[in-house]
Amino acid sequence: MKALGKVFKYGDNVDTDVIIPARYLNSSDPAELATHCMEDIDKDFAKNVQKGDIIVATKNFGCGSSREHAPISIKASGVSCVIAETFARIFYRNAINIGLPIIECKEAAENIDAGDSVEIDFDSGIIYNKTKGESYQGQAFPEFMQKIIKAEGLMNYINSKNA
Amino acid sequence: MGMTMTQKILAAHAGLESVKAGQLIEANLDLVLANDITGPVAIHEVEKLNKKTVFHKDKVALVPDHFTPNKDIKSAEHCKCVREYAKAQGITNYFEVGEMGIEHALLPEKGLIVAGETCIGADSHTCTYGALGAFSTGVGSTDMGAGMITGQAWFKVPSAIKVVVTGKLKPWVSGKDVILHLIGKIGVDGALYRSLEFVGDGIANLSMDDRFTIANMAIEAGAKNGIFPVDEKTIAYMEEHSNKEYKVYEADEDAEYDEEIVIDLDKLDSTVAFPHLPENTKTVKEAGEVTIDQVVIGSCTNGRIEDLRVAAKILENNKVKKGIRCIIIPATQKIYLQAMEEGLLKTFIEAGAIVSTPTCGPCLGGHMGILAAGERAVATTNRNFVGRMGDVTSEIYLASPAVAAASAVTGKISEPSELGM
Ligand code: SF4
């Protein structure tokens, strides 16, 4: 599995309140949530994002509330992967559970700039920056999580386990 | 190698003799929680499962507290979804408006969680119950939904930071100042993926309400959970509120910790977190002249009876400054009633504050006190992220109930000593 897209770049501690502000949480419809994705940090994001694009951020991406609406809105906006130096733990779980690919990679987080064109190979964890001609080795998922991802989410994994 | 308190609870719930940091386990759950925002997503997700009934009718708690009493039609639909699911599944711990309170104040008060238990909740502040010596942590809706049906969840066993608490707090300084100080020290990702285990002889000097406040904000340092040892105060609290059997776990003497941090309670002063992160802390003395528009006293962090008593003491012989909006939200119906019986509500209203029915309300920018562009609030809540309480240019200063009440009187960030108290 591969992803290829243009990068939207953010800094440390991007919290779930700016990813999807609480004023929109009276909806749980992914398409509607996507129209407000990143609104309080980057009001043009929803307008500019294209299918396959990639979000790159530095430390503690997704900190704050447990709202699964945050990874759901990112996924529904067409983003193919989020790369960060570190993720907040609830966001990390949620992303895996709903099937939004995420990769931890300090080098990529430091070196990739907004607008770069980046290709990710999920099997090897290699992140290739086409704009700069550099590649970075991202962290592969532990085996247990790979099983959840392969099953396309936690619910399918549970069904397959109890089948 | 010994285990931390958290690791011992997790091992027992995974049916294992011992666990170590980094290990992936599946643990049995004693309580699974969701609210009116995360519940509908979970209820929708569990439709995908082959098994459709909840694992235990008494071990699931559904608390519509965020946008309630229903603030608009969409919120009403979400609450209806949760209500109907609770009814269809025969869930005993569904709390309707009238018995509802903010989940993390409500569940301990109702005795639904006790020491030694394991709990997940689709709300990040589920870590509050660590104050009782339980392992509890926030998860998303899918994890919650899976836990609600299977009674299990997967965890990566965390390592821990040992926080040694010594001494005794000065007057007007409280649990909120302790946790803000700690987050200021280690940062909002200072405990990422780890436990914060509180130990030390200073804990005996902290009330249960202080401990709830401290454990509540463990997530604000990125922690998986925060946990307190069980002592006489914990046992007295559980005996008053719960019929459940509790179990006391203690960390092994040779438990390994990543780090040790010492907090001397005697040295702490009233602390404020400046926008837009809980780690941006200063003491009130260092804060300078920050004028404000609104004060909020409430939330799962500081809407308990002790918090209201402190606020009332300050507002007793003082008035909310003209032009300042002071909003006070008791966290549960029981606290509301108690505040009424103790005359606190009268004090608040006479001082020029308003008192609301229990709700999360302004804490997450839902309703009941949203900020306009450029406005500033001192709040006893737990997050001061961009736009959390309203417009993206508004500002939230996190503080204790004592600081919040004093600030309502002066119209700027203040501590009680500035009022001669
Ligand atoms: S009071 Fe605030 S932090 Fe607590 S549960 Fe409600 S919205 Fe979340």
Taking residues A76-96, report their average pLDDT.
Answer: 95
- DSSP percent split of chain A into helix, strand, coil, nearest 5: 35, 20, 45
Helix/strand/coil for B191: coil
Tell me, yes or no, whether B17 and B131 share the same domain: yes
pLDDT tier at A153, thresholds 50, 70, 90: confident
Each residue of B377-420: pLDDT tens digit?
999 999 999 999 999 999 999 999 999 999 999 999 999 999 99
In B47-72, alpha helices (H):
none
Closest partner residue to B49 (CB to CB) among A40, A94, A158 is A158
Tell me, yes or no, whether B293 and B367 share the same domain: yes
Tell me, yes or no, whether B52 and B154 share the same domain: yes
Taking residues B12-40, report their average pLDDT.
Answer: 96
Q: How much is the pTM?
A: 0.96
**Computed from CA positions of residues A16, A143, B16, B153, in that sequence, does the dihedral angle turn out positive or negative?**
positive
Q: Do A155 and B145 touch (CB under 8 A)?
A: yes
Closest partner residue to A155 (CB to CB) among B78, B146, B386 is B146
Ligand 1 pocket, residue B389 CB under 6 Å: no
In B274-324, alpha helices (H):
299-302, 305-315
**B168 in any annotated domain:** no
**B330 in any annotated domain:** yes
Tell me, yes or no, whether B387 and B278 share the same domain: yes
CB contact at 8 A, B235 and B142: no
Distance CA B175, CA B223 (A): 17
Q: The tokens of B263 are what?
A: 């907090």
What does the pLDDT read at residue A152?
76
What does the pLDDT read at residue A142?
74
What does the pLDDT read at residue A163?
63
Q: The tokens of B381 are what?
A: 């809540």
Please report the number of interchain residue pairs, chain A to chain B, with beta-carbon separation below 8 angstroms: 134
Taking residues B180-188, report their average pLDDT.
Answer: 98
CB contact at 8 A, B368 and B327: yes
Tell me, yes or no, whether B109 and B65 share the same domain: yes
CB contact at 8 A, B402 and B416: yes
Tell me, yes or no, whether B288 and B242 share the same domain: no
Ligand 1: residue whose CA is nearest its atom 1: B299
Q: Quick one: B421 exposed, middle or buried, by C-beta within 10 A (0-12, 13-18, 19+)?
A: middle
Domain that holds residue B392: 273-415
Q: Which of A63, A61, A56 is nearest to A110 (CA)?
A: A56
Q: Do B141 and A68 touch (CB under 8 A)?
A: yes
Each residue of B313-324: pLDDT tens digit?
999 999 999 999
Please confirm whether the linkage preceding B69 is cis (ω < 30° from 0).
yes
Give Cβ neighbours of residue A130 (< 8 Å, ≥ 6 apart).
A116, A117, A118, A119
**B234 in any annotated domain:** yes
Neighbours of A144 (CB within 10 A): 14
Tell me, yes or no, whether B243 and B340 share the same domain: no
Q: Could you tell me the distance, in angstroms and rounded to a whole number, from the CA of residue B265 to the centre of ligand 1?
A: 26
Ligand 1 pocket, residue B299 CB under 6 Å: yes
Q: Quick one: B125 exposed, middle or buried, by C-beta within 10 A (0-12, 13-18, 19+)?
A: buried
Q: Could you tell me the distance, in angstroms and rounded to a whole number, from the CA of residue B419 to the centre of ligand 1?
A: 30
Return the best residue to mutate from B36, B62, B63, B66 for the ligand 1 pocket (most ligand atoms within 8 A of CB): B66
Tell me, yes or no, whether B384 and B314 share the same domain: yes
**B13 in any annotated domain:** yes
Residue type, B301: T
Distance CA B196, CA B160 (A): 6
Residues of B in Cβ contact (< 8 Å) with A28: 40-41, 44, 78
In B32-174, alpha helices (H):
38-46, 73-89, 103-109, 141-150
Each residue of B80-114: pLDDT tens digit?
999 999 999 999 999 999 999 999 999 999 999 99
Closest partner residue to A41 (CB to CB) among B123, B277, B386 is B386
For residue B163, is pLDDT > 80?
A: yes
**B105 in any annotated domain:** yes
CATH of the domain at B306: 3.30.499.10
Distance CA B174, CA B168 (A): 10
**B217 in any annotated domain:** no
**B259 in any annotated domain:** no
**B108 in any annotated domain:** yes
- The chain A residues in contact with chain B (CB within 8 A) are 13, 15, 17-18, 21-23, 25-28, 40-41, 59-60, 63-69, 71-72, 86, 88-90, 93-94, 97-98, 142, 144, 153-156, 158-159, 162-163
Distance CA B43, CA B34 (A): 10
Ligand 1 pocket, residue B363 CB under 6 Å: yes
For residue A141, is pLDDT > 80?
A: no
B105 CA: distance to closest CA in chain A (Å): 17
Taking residues B146-170, report their average pLDDT.
Answer: 97
- DSSP percent split of chain B into helix, strand, coil, nearest 5: 40, 20, 45
Each residue of B219-268: pLDDT tens digit?
999 999 999 999 999 999 999 999 999 999 999 999 999 999 999 999 99
What does the pLDDT read at residue A144?
77
CB contact at 8 A, B10 and B135: yes
ipTM of the complex: 0.93
Tell me, yes or no, whether B99 and B235 share the same domain: yes
Tell me, yes or no, whether B115 and B83 share the same domain: yes
What does the pLDDT read at residue A149?
75
Ligand 1 pocket, residue B66 CB under 6 Å: yes
Residues of A in Cβ contact (< 8 Å) with B124: 64-66, 90
A1 CA: distance to closest CA in chain B (Å): 24
Tell me, yes or no, whether B248 and B315 share the same domain: no
Structural domains of chain B, count: 2
Q: Could you tell me the distance, in angstroms and rounded to a whole number, from the CA of residue B318 to the centre of ligand 1?
A: 29
Q: Could you tell me the distance, in angstroms and rounded to a whole number, from the CA of residue B216 to the centre of ligand 1?
A: 10
Ligand 1 pocket, residue B125 CB under 6 Å: yes
Taking residues B319-337, report their average pLDDT.
Answer: 98
Q: Could you tell me the distance, in angstroms and rounded to a whole number, from the CA of residue B166 to the centre of ligand 1?
A: 29
Distance CA B165, CA B366 (A): 35
Terminal Cα distance for chain A, rounded? 27
Total length of chain B: 421
Q: What is the mean pLDDT of chain B?
A: 97
Distance CA B227, CA B208 (A): 12
The percent of residues above 90 in pLDDT, for chain B, comes to 100
Q: Do A88 and B222 touch (CB under 8 A)?
A: yes
Tell me, yes or no, whether B296 and B236 share the same domain: no
Ligand 1 pocket, residue B325 CB under 6 Å: no
For residue A1, is pLDDT > 80?
A: no
